[in-house]
Structure 1
Amino acid sequence: MSVFIKPLRVFACCALFINQASRLHAQQVPDTISKKQDTMQLVDKKLKKLIYFNTPKTLSTVSSTAIPGAELTSTLVASYPIALAGRLAGLTTSQNSGQPFNEGYSMRLRGQSPLIFIDGIPRSVSEIGIEEIESVTVLKDAVSLAMLGVRGANGAVSIVTKKGMVAGQKISFTGQWGIQQPIQNLISKPLDAFNYATLYNEALTNDGLSAANNGFSQSAINAYQTGSDPLRYPNVNWADEVLRKSAAIARYNLNTSGGNQYVRFFVNLEHFKQDGLLKTRDDINTKYSTDANFVGYFIRSNVDVNLTDKLSAGLYVQGRILTDNSPGNSGTQGIFNALKATPNSAYPIFNANGTYGGSAQFQNNIVAQGVSAGYSKTNTRTVLSDFYLKYNLDDLSKGLWVKARASFFSNLAENYIRNKSFAVFEQISGFGTLSPVYRQYNNNTDQANGNNIAFQNRSDFQELSFGYQRDFGLNGVDAVILANRDNLINGSNLPYAIQGISGHVSYNYDKKYLAEVSFSQSGANRYPDKGGFKYGFFPALGLGWNIQQEDFLKENSWLNQLKLYASYGKVGRDNGAYYTYQQVYNGSPGAIFGSSAGTATTIGESFLANPAITWEYAKMLNIGIDAGFLNDRLGLNVEYYKNNFADLSIMRGNGSSLLGISYPNENIGKQNYYGWEAQLSWNEQKKKWGYFVRLNASLQKNKLIYSAEANQRYSWMQRTGHPVGQTYGYIAEGLFRSQQEITGYPTIEGYTPQPGDIKYRDLNGDGVINQYDQTTIGSQKPSLFLGAKLGFHVVGFDVSALVQGVINQEVYLSDNSYWEFQGGTAQAYQTHLNRFTPATANTAAYPRLTTNSGPRNGATNNFVSSSFWLRNGDFVRLRNVELGYTLPARLTQKVGLKSTRLFTNGLNLWTLSSKTFNGADPENFNGNYPIERIFSFGVNIQL
C-alpha cells in the first residue's frame, strides 16, 4: 500500500502550494470569460497549429493529422508512443517488449522513423509525461516538412504541451492504479521434461547419434513422466519460477492552469511507478529489489506573460528524474535469454541442502540469476528549458511580429552496478542417502560496486523569426521566415549542428483558392564544405480549392466542407556518417623483408573516405480530399502520396573484394514509398447523449529502385524492383514425406536430404538446389494498417474503445524463438510436438528434429533462409477500452469540486491473430519480456 499512499501525501502537500500560488496568478480574471467555456473547442483550435505556422487547416494544403492529448491521459503507460497505436492515419506504432521503461516501441510514419518535436523544437527524448501533452500532430507532406530542411524527409511528430489560458483557475488531480498481467508468448509454452527428453532422443537418432550414449535413458524418461525423483530428474517450468502472474502499476498527476490578461500558467507534477514481472524472494534477499521496475517523477511549468501591450514572453521548464532497476550481471534480457536456452530438465532450483542447483553445462541457475546476482539501477536526470520573447509590430504594419527563442536541454543517465556471483552445485552421488556428494561450479562472492555514465547529451537551440498575418479584402496572407540553429553534443562525440534559414507563405483568395510555399536553405556540419557546413535548398508548393465556397455549392445545407489539395516538394534527410569524408589511417601489421631483416611499420586506411558524401533527399507528392457533410457529423479524408528517396547513403552492391577494404557509403541509392490513407468519422451529439466513430486506414508500399546491385545470373535473383527489406531465400515446397519423394528430386548441393527435411524449388531447372535458386520469398502485397476509435456517452456515463489492426504482415520464425535445441541443448516448445516422424508423415507441420538446428551449427538444409519459416503476421487487437462515470454536478459542488470522474481502463484486452502465433502475442512472440494486459481504475477530480 505504500506504493499508493506515499505519493498521495506528496501530492497533497504540492496541491496546497500550487493552490495558493495559482490564486495569486489568476486574480482579475475578466468577467467576459465564461466558466462553462468549451475546452474541446480550444483544443481543436490548437490542433490547427503546425510547427512554425498557424494557418487554419481549412485554408491549408498540408497533410497533417492530429489528436488531443486528452485521448491519451487514461492509458496507463510510461511512454506516450505506446498510447498512439491505431489513432493516426499514416503513423504505425509497434511494441516488442513490456519491460518497464524499455518497451522496445517504434514509430513509423509512412514507412520512415519520424523526427520528434516538442513545442516546435527537435528533441532527442520522447518520454514526457502524458498529462503534459495538449496535442499530437503528424506532419507528412513536403509543405509541412520543407522548413525542416535536411531532416524533414522522414516526416515529423509534433508534440504541443499544455499552456495556460485566460480563464478561471483550474486544479486537476488524477490517480490511477492498475494490475499488469503478462500476455502469453513463446516462453509460456515450453516442453515439459518428459517430452523434452523424448524429443531430444529422437533428434539424436535423426542425427545418426546414439540416444543411449548421448541422450536420456529410459529410466530417466520414466522418472520425468512420473515426477518420482524431482531432485535427480527435475521438471522445472522456469517461466513460472521467474515470472509473476501480475504486478502493480500506478500514476498520480496534479496540475493547475489558468491566468488573466497578464499571466497564463500551466504547472504539472506527475509520479509514475511500474513494478516488473520478475519474482523476488524474501527468503533469499530482503535488502534490495532485483525486480525490473521503473519509477519516474515529472515536473513542468509553462508560463506566458504579457510584459507590455506589445511584448510577451514565455518560460517553459521541464524536469525528469527516472530510475529503472534490473537484476545484476546479465540484466533483465539475460534472464529471458536463459529461459530460451534452458530446458525444464536441466537442474533443480535447489538441492536437498538448500544450495542452488546446476551442472557443468548449465552453471547459471535462472532463479539465482534473478535474485542472487545483485542488481543495477540507471538514474536518468533531464532538464529542459525554453524561453521566448515576442514583439507585436502592428505600428509598422498590422499583423507583423518578431519572435526570438532559445532552448537548452540536458540529459544524463548513470548506472549504479551492484553485482555479485553465486555458486551452483550438482549432486553427483549419494542419491536417496543422508550423505549426498556435490560438485561445485562458480563461487559465491561479495557484492562488487561500481558506477558509470550510461549516456549523456545536451543540446542548445536558437531561433529568430518574423511573421505576418493579415487579410486584404478577399485576400488572406500568412507568412513566416526564420533562422535557427540546433546544436547537439552526444557523449564524447564532436558537436552535431544543423542550421539554416526557412520560410512559409500561405495565401487564400476569398477562402476558396489556396496556395502555399515553404522553403529551407539548411545544412549540417559533418560534410565536406566550407566551414564544415554543407547547405541545400528544399522548396515545396501546395495548391488547394475549397469547392464548398463556390456559389453553386455554398447554399447546399448537406455539404459543409469539400477541399481538394495537392503538394509537391523536395525535403532533405541527414544520414551522413561521422566525418567520413576525412581519410583516416592506422598502423597496420608490420611487413618482414628478407630472412633476417626486421619488420617495417606499414600504414593503412581505417576506412575508405568519401569526399563527395552529402545529405539524402526525397521528392514528395501528396494529393488529398477533405470533406464534411450533414453539419460536419460525417467527415472524410483521403490522400495519395508518393515519396521518391534519392542520394541514399549505401554501400554499392557491385563492389569487388580486390579493393582490399570495404567500399565507403555513397549517395547512390534510390527507393520509392507510396500508398493511400483514409479517415472516416461520424459524430452525433445531442443534449444528453452522443456517440462517435473514427476509422483510419493506411495502405503502404515501397520499392527498391537502385542500389548498384551486382549483376545476377538470373532475373529472379535481382533485388531491384522489389520491396525494400524484402526477404530472400529458397521457395519451400513442403517436406519430403518419404524416401521415394527424395529419389528423383533435384539434389541439394552439399547435403543429402532425409524424409522430414524441407524440399525447395529448383528455379533454373538444372537439377541442383543451390544459391542460384534463391529469390524473393513471401508476400509483396502492400501492408494495410487499420485503426478504429468509437464511443458514446449518456447522462454521466461514457464508454470508448480503440482497435488496431495489421494486414499483409509477415514474420520470420527462427533461432531460440522457434527452432529446437539451439546450441545442441536449448529449450524446445509445444509446437515441436507436431514434428515429422514416419507416423506423422502426412500431417506434420514441422521438419524432423535435429540437435544441430540453425545454420550456425552446420545444418545446411532445414534452417537456411526459406519461405517455410515465413508466416502470416496479421492481427487485430482491442488496444484500449474505457468506461467512465462523471458524478452529478449538484453533488460534487456541495463539497467544493467542479467535477469528479471515476473510470476504469483496459489495455491490450483481446487479440485476434493468425495461427502462426498459436495464441501468443503477435508483437512479442519470440520470448522477450512479455507485453502486459493492464486493468486499471482511476479518479479525476477538478477543483
Structure 2
Amino acid sequence: MEHSKNTKKESVGILKLFLLLLCMAGTSVFNQVLAAADQEPLKVTGVVFDELDTPLPGATVQVDKSTKGVITDLDGKFEIEVLPTDKLLISYVGYETKLVTIGDKKSLVVKLETKANELQDVTVVAFGKQKKESMTSAIETINPKELKLPTGNLTAALAGRLAGVISYQKSGEPGKDNAEFFVRGVTTFGYSSSPLILLDGFEISANDLARIQPDNIEQFSILKDATAAALYGSKGANGVIMVTTKKGKEGKPRVTFRHESRFSTPTKIPETVDGVTYMKLYNEAQFNDNPLLPPYYEAQKIQNTINGVNPYAYPNVDWYDELFKNFTYNQYYYLNVSGGSKDIQYYLAAAYTNETGILKNEKKNNFQNNINIGTYDVTAKVNLQLTKTTSFEVNMNSRFQNYTGPSVEANDIFNRVMDANPVEFPKYYLTDEEHRYDEHVLFGMNPRNSMANPYADMVKGYKDGFSSNILSQFSLNQKLDFLTNGLAFHAKVSIKTDSSHDSNRSYNPYFYNIKDYDELSNIYSLSQIAEGTKVLGDPANTRTANSHFYFETGLSYANVLNEDHELGAVLVYTQEENKNTAAEGSIQVTLPQRNQAIRARANYAYKSKYMAEASVTYNGSEKFDADHRWGVFPAMGVGYMISNEDFWQPLSEVMEKFKLRYSYGLVGNDNISDPRDRFYFLSDIKREGGYTWGKDFLTSYSGLKVNRYANPEITWEIARKQNLGMEVNLWRVLDIQLDYFMEKREKVYEKRAHIPATMGIINDIWGNVGEVKSWGWDGSADLNYVINKDAWVTGRFNFTYAKNKVTEREEPAYRDEYLRTIGWPVRQQWGLIAERLFIDEYDVANSPVQNLGTKAQAGDIKYKDINNDGIINDNDKVPIGYPSVPELSYGFGLSAGYKNWDISFFFQGQGRSSFFIDPYKISPFRNYRNVVSYIADDHWSQNNPVSHAFWPRLSTQDNSNNYKKESTWWLRDGRYLRLKNVELGYSLPKHTLRKVGLGNVRFYFTGLNLLCFSSFDLWDPEMGDNGLGYPLQRVYNVGVQFDF
C-alpha cells in the first residue's frame, strides 16, 4: 500500500516535470517566432551630407560586417534593406567613417566630417613635423585666416598678430609698401637683422613673402628660439619665418572663388597752408631776417588772391589736391580647385590682384603716369602615390607682374609737394594768344628761383616693367618600414628663377611764366622759361636675372615603442647655389654664392610627460677663409608636461594643460655685409686712384689702390639663445603661452676704430669685434568658445617686449663717457637736449655759445650744454627717447558669430619707440618752399614769443645750423593704438544653397586702418620719419566667396 502511494507521487512528479518542459519549449518556440518576426528586413532611406550640409554623391553605405552595401546618388540619397539589429558604415574619401545603429529608424540623416587636418595636431618645424605636445621649442603659429586683409602685401598684416614679431609699415605705395619686421626685436647692429624666410622649405626674400596669397597658406609659423632655428645654421640667428602652402586632399573636387573690391584713401596727409596765409607768413619771416626790407608779397597781390582774381595770374594752388586723388579703386580675384583620390591629390589656384595709386594723370599725355600694378599668381601642387610606400610631389609657384608708374619715384613726388609754394605759379597755364596752337602742356615755373613744379615732375614720363618669379619643387618620399618601422627617406630639388625688365621714358617739360598781365581785360601773355621736348626720349632699360638652386636629401625616423617611448630623428644634407646672372659691376655680386650643411636632430618623449631634444648643424659658407668656413651650431631643449602626471588630475577640469620648456643653443648669421663685399680673406685691389699719404692724405700717386685689406679671421656672427617657456590651457577654451628669452650676439662685424691714422691706412678696417645682449618676454592668449549650436566667440591677445643693449663696440676713446654707445640699445636715438626757444637777444648773449655754424637769435632753439664747456656742439649729444624700432608690440581682437552672421575686429599697437621729424624737409620758405599748417598755427614770433612753440622763428634764410640738429625738440613718441581691421560677414542659408548646388556663399565688408589713437597728429605715426612720403592707406573692402 505504501509502495503504491510512492509510485503515484512519482508519476505525478514526472507529469509536472513533463508539463514544465513542454511549457518551456513552447515559450522558446514562441520567442523564436517573435524574433523571426523582428528580423524581417526593413527598407531604410537616408541622405549623406558634409559639414557644410552639401549632399555627398558616391558615398558608400555598407552593412557592418557584411559585403552588402549601396552608393549614394547625385543628391546624396540612398535606400537599403537591413535588419533592425544591423549597423551601417558610411564612408567617403577624405571624410571620417561613421557607424550608425538602425534600431527602429526608417529614415536617416548622416553628416560626415572632414578628416582632421594633420597640421592641427603637428607643427611644421625645421626639415619635418613634430607633435605639438612633444615640442620643446618656441614656435608661434597663426590661423592663416587672420592674414586675409584687403591689401596686396602680406607683410602689412603681421603687425600685432604674432607673439615674438615686431613689425611696422612706413609707406603705402603700391609695390613698395613692405613692412619692416623683426623676430624678437633687433639683436645686432651688423648688416642684417632680418629673419630667414622659407616658403615650403625654400629660402625667399621679404618681397616674395609680401606677395604670397594668404588663401594658399596652410600654416604660418615663427621659429623663435635655438632648438627651433639651429638646424638653419648660419642663416637662423635672426629667427625664421616658415610658410607652408596648402595641399590637395582626398575627396571630391572642391572649388572656391573669391572677389574683392577695395577702395583706398590715405589715413592722413600733412596739411599745407593756402596762398594767402603763405604770403603773410613769408612777409613775417622776411621781417625777422631784416626789418628794413619792404614786404616781399605786396598787399595788392594778397588782396587779389583773396578775391579770386585770375587764378593763373594770382595762383592759389593746393598742390596735394592737384597731384593726388582722394581715393583709388583696386580689385582681387581668387580661384582654387582641390581634391583627389588615394593615388593622386591636387591643389590648383590662380589669383589676380590689381593695385593702383592715388596719382592723377595728365589728359594731354598719351600714357599713364599713375601707379598701376597687375599681379598674376598661379599655384599648382600635385601629390602622386606611386606605391604604398612611395610618393612624389610637384609644386609650382609662379608670379608674374606688370608695373606702370611715374618716371620719378612716387615717394619723392609726395616729398616734392613741400618744394613748391602755392602762389608762385599754377601747375600749368591755359594757352595765350601767342601759344594757342601749342599742343604741349604749358607748365608753370618761376624764373627767380630753382623751385620745381611737382606736377610737371609727376606727369613728364612713365616707367613700365615686367617681372616673373617661378619656384619649382620636386620631392620624393620613400617609407623604409621594411628596414625598421617609422624610417623614411626623402629628396627634394628646388629651382627658383627671377627676372625683370624695366623701362623709363620721359620728356623735358616746357616751362612758362606770365610776362604781362592786363587786369582790366584779364588777359595775360606768357614767356617761355625753359625749352622742352614734344616727344618721349629713348627708353632707359634695366634687366635683371637671378637663379637659385637648392638640393635637400635625408632620413627621418618617428616611432612609438611600448606605447610610452616616443622617438624622432632627422638627418639632412643640403646644398644651394645662388647666381645673379645679369648683374652689372662688381664681380663679388656676379660670382655664384654657395652654401652646404649637414643637419641632425633627435627628440624623445616619455609618456608624453618628459621631453628632450637635441640638434646640431655643420654649416659651410664660401664667404670665409678655409679655417673659418665651417661652423658647428648645436642646440638642446627639455620639456615637462606637468598636467599629464597623475597628481594633476584633480586640477585638469580647470587647467587641462600645463607645460614647461627650456632651450639653449647656438645659431649663426653669415649675412654680415653688403653682397658686394664678399671673400673677406682676399684683398680688393683695383687700378684706380692710386695711393695717398702725407698730412690729411692729400698727397697721391697713381697706381694700385687697396679698397679692402684681406682678413682671414672674419667669420659669421654667433647668437647664443636661451628660452624658458610655459603653455597653459584653461577650461579647455583658453590657450596661454608665455616665453622669457635671452640672447648674446657675438662677433658682430663692424668698422675698427682703434687703428690710428699714423698707421698709414686710409681705408676702413673691419672685424668681428661687436657684441649685443638682448632679452624680453612674448606671449599670447587664444580663446575658442562655442556658446551653443548657433553662437560662438573667439579672441586673441599677444605681445612682444624685446630690449637690447650694446655690450662691446669698438669706438674712439671719447673724453666724455656718455658719448659711447656701449650700454645703450641698438638704433638708440641720439641728439642734443633742447631746453626751449631763446626769448630775446639778452637770453642769447647769456647762454652757451652755439657753435653750430650761424649765430643764434631770439626764437631759435636753445640747447643744453651737457659737458659744461660753454659751447654747444656734437659733444653735447646724448641718448634721448627710445630706439627707432619699437621695444613693445601688441595686438588684441575678437570674432563672434550667430547663425549666419559673423563679425570681428582687431586692434594693433606699439610703444617704446621714438622718431625724428626731419625739420629740413618741412622747413618753410627755403627756396620759397611750402608751409605745413602745423607751423602756421604754432610758431615763435615777435608778437607771440612762446618759448615752447612747435616751430622756431620763421626765416627766409637757411637756418638749418640751428634747427636741423637732431634734438629732443624734434623727437616724437612713436607709440600708437590702431583699429587695424573690422569685418562683418553674412553667409546664405545652407538649405537655400543646396537647391542650386552650392556649398557656401558669404558676403563680407572689411575696413582696414580705420582709426588711429596717438599723441602725434602731423601724419600717421606708424610712418615715423617718412611722414612726407607716400601715405599709408585706409581701405574699405566689399567681398564675396563661393564654395562649391
Common fold by TM > 0.5: yes
2-structure distance, mates of 1:386, 1:178: 34
State the match for 1:309 in structure 2: 388
Deviations 1:125-159 (A, max 9, x none): 22222222112101100001000000100101101
State the Cα deviation string for residues 744-796 of structure 1 (Å, max 9, x = none). 32232355322211112222223332333221122479821111121100101
1:376 is matched with 463
Shift in Å, 1:866:
1.2
- Residue 201 of structure 1 corresponds to 283
Write the letter of the residue equivalent to 1:452.
N
Superimposed CA distance per residue, residues 573-625 of structure 1 (whole angstroms, 9 cap, x where no aligned partner): 012432233112223557999xxxxx974222122332221111100011110
- Inter-partner Cα distance in structure 1 for 2:648 and 2:939: 67
* Unaligned runs of at least 5 residues, structure 1: 1-22, 594-598
Q: Per-residue displacement from partner, 1:550-570 (whole Å, max 9, x unpaired)?
A: 111034321211000010100
Return the alpha-carbon distance in structure 2 between the equivalents of residues 301 and 253 of structure 1: 14
Matches within 5 A, 1:458-857: 458-473=547-562, 474-490=564-580, 491-492=582-583, 493-529=590-626, 534-556=629-651, 557-576=653-672, 577-589=677-689, 601-631=702-732, 633-658=733-758, 659-685=760-786, 686-749=788-851, 751-779=854-882, 783-821=887-925, 823-833=926-936, 834-842=938-946, 844-851=948-955
Displacement, 1:858? Answer: 6.3
Report if the CA contact (8 A) 1:224-1:235 is conserved. Answer: yes
**C-alpha deviation, 1:869, in angstroms:** 0.9
Over aligned residue pairs, what C-alpha RMSD do you find? 2.6
Letter in 2 for 1:185: I
Rounded to whole Å, the distance in 1 between the matches of 2:122 and 2:153 is 21
CA contact (8 A) 1:86 1:92 kept: yes
Alignment counterpart, residue 401 of structure 1, candidates 488, 503, 507: 488
- Match of 1:18? none
The CA distance in 2 between the partners of 1:160 and 1:430, in whole Å, is 68
- Tell me how far apart the structure 2 counterparts of residues 114 and 209 of structure 1 sit (CA, whole Å): 58
Q: For 2:400, which of 315, 318, 321 is the aligned residue? A: 321
Cα distance, 1:867–1:923 mapped onto 2, change above 3 Å: closer
Contact 1:185–1:920 (8 Å) recurs in 2: no
TM-fit CA distance, 1:918: 6.2
| 3-state SS, counterpart of residue 117 of structure 2 | helix
In the alignment, residue 835 of structure 2 is paired with which amino acid? E
Counterpart in the other structure of 1:596: none
Q: Report SS of the residue matched to 2:623.
A: coil
- Write the deviation string for residues 809-863 of structure 1: whole angstroms up to 9, x where unpaired: 2110114543333x4332220111211112222365234335477xxx5633222
Contact map agreement 2:918 2:1025 (CA 8 A) in 1: no
Map of 1:61-460 to 2, 5 A cutoff? Answer: 61-73=136-148, 75-111=149-185, 112-124=193-205, 125-126=208-209, 127-186=211-270, 189-208=271-290, 211-212=293-294, 215-282=296-363, 284-285=364-365, 287-328=366-407, 330-353=408-431, 355-360=442-447, 361=449, 364-371=452-459, 373-432=460-519, 434=523, 436-450=525-539, 452-460=541-549
Alpha-carbon distance in 2 for matches of 1:447, 1:547: 73
The residue type equivalent to 2:183 in the other structure is L
**Structure 1 pair 719/814, CA: closer, same or farther in 2 (3 Å)?**
same
CA distance in 1, matches of 2:155, 2:236: 20
Distance 2:880 2:854 in 1: 22
Residues 690 and 705, structure 2, Cα contact 8 Å, conserved in 1? no
Could you tell me how far apart the structure 1 residues matched to 2:409 and 2:844 are?
47
TM-score (norm 2): 0.82
1:688-727 deviation per Cα after TM superposition (whole angstroms, max 9, x unaligned): 1111121011111110111112121122222110111112
SS at match of 2:120: helix
Write out per-residue CA displacement over residues 264-284 of structure 1, whole angstroms, 9 at most, x where no aligned residue: 1110011111121111243x1
Does the CA contact (< 8 Å) of 1:701 and 1:782 recur in 2? no
1:429-448 CA distance string (max 9 Å, x none): 24445562413313123122
Mind listing any 5+ residue stretches in structure 2 that lack a counterpart?
1-73, 75-90, 99-109, 186-192, 433-441, 584-589, 694-699
TM-score (norm 1): 0.91
1:72-94 deviation per Cα after TM superposition (whole angstroms, max 9, x unaligned): 23x12112111222210111222
Identify if the C-alpha distance between structure 1 residues 191 and 43 changes in structure 2 by more than 3 Å, giving closer, same or farther: farther
SS of corresponding position for 1:58: helix
Task: Specify the alignment match of 1:884 in structure 2.
Answer: 985
Cα distance in 2 for residues equivalent to 1:91 and 1:394: 40
Deviation at 1:218, TM superposition (A): 3.3
In 1: Cα distance, 2:160 partner to 2:783 partner: 17
Q: Between 668-677 and 100-109, report the one with greater CA deviation.
A: 100-109
Counterpart residue identity of residue 798, structure 2 = N
Change (3 A) 1:451 1:738: closer
**Kept in 1: contact 2:173–2:411 (CA 8 A):** no
Q: Distance in 2 between matches of 1:211 and 1:196?
A: 18
Letter in 2 for 1:934: V
SS of the residue corresponding to residue 294 of structure 2 reads: helix
1:90–1:110 CA contact under 8 A, matched in 2: yes
- Aligned residue type for 1:625: M
Q: Secondary structure at the match of 1:798?
A: strand
- Residue range with higher mean Cα deviation, 414-423 or 145-154: 414-423
Q: Which moved more, 1:750-759 or 1:619-628?
A: 750-759
Amino acid at match of 2:184: R
246 and 669 in structure 1: CA distance in 2 versus 1, 3 angstrom threshold: same
What is the distance in 1 between the residues matched to 2:824 and 2:692? 50
CA distance in 1, matches of 2:118, 2:922: 48
Residues 486-524 of structure 1, C-alpha deviations (whole Å, 9 max, x = no match): 211134321111111011111111111111111100021
Residue range with higher mean Cα deviation, 778-787 or 870-879: 778-787
**What is the distance in 1 between the residues matched to 2:320 and 2:349?**
40
Q: How many residues align?
A: 898
CA distance in 2, matches of 1:363, 1:817: 14
Post-superposition shift, 1:660?
3.9
> 3-state DSSP class of the match of 1:203?
helix
| Structure with larger Rg | 2
CA separation in 1, counterparts of 2:964 and 2:316?
29
3-state secondary structure, aligned to 2:150: coil
Report deviation, 1:653: 3.2
Identity %, equivalent residues: 27
Alignment check: 8 A CA contact 2:809 2:822 kept: yes
Q: Classify 1:501/1:716 alpha carbon distance in 2 versus 1 (closer, same or farther; 3 Å).
A: same
Query: Is the contact made by 1:785 and 1:805 (CA closer than 8 Å) also made in structure 2?
Result: yes
Secondary structure class of the residue paired with 1:236:
coil
Per-residue Cα deviation, 1:37-72 (whole angstroms, up to 9, x for no partner): 666952752761223131112211111111132222
SS of 2:881 mapped into structure 1: coil
Following the alignment from structure 1 to structure 2, what is the Cα–Cα distance between the partners of residues 885 and 171?
19
The 2-side partners of 1:549 and 1:110 are apart by 31
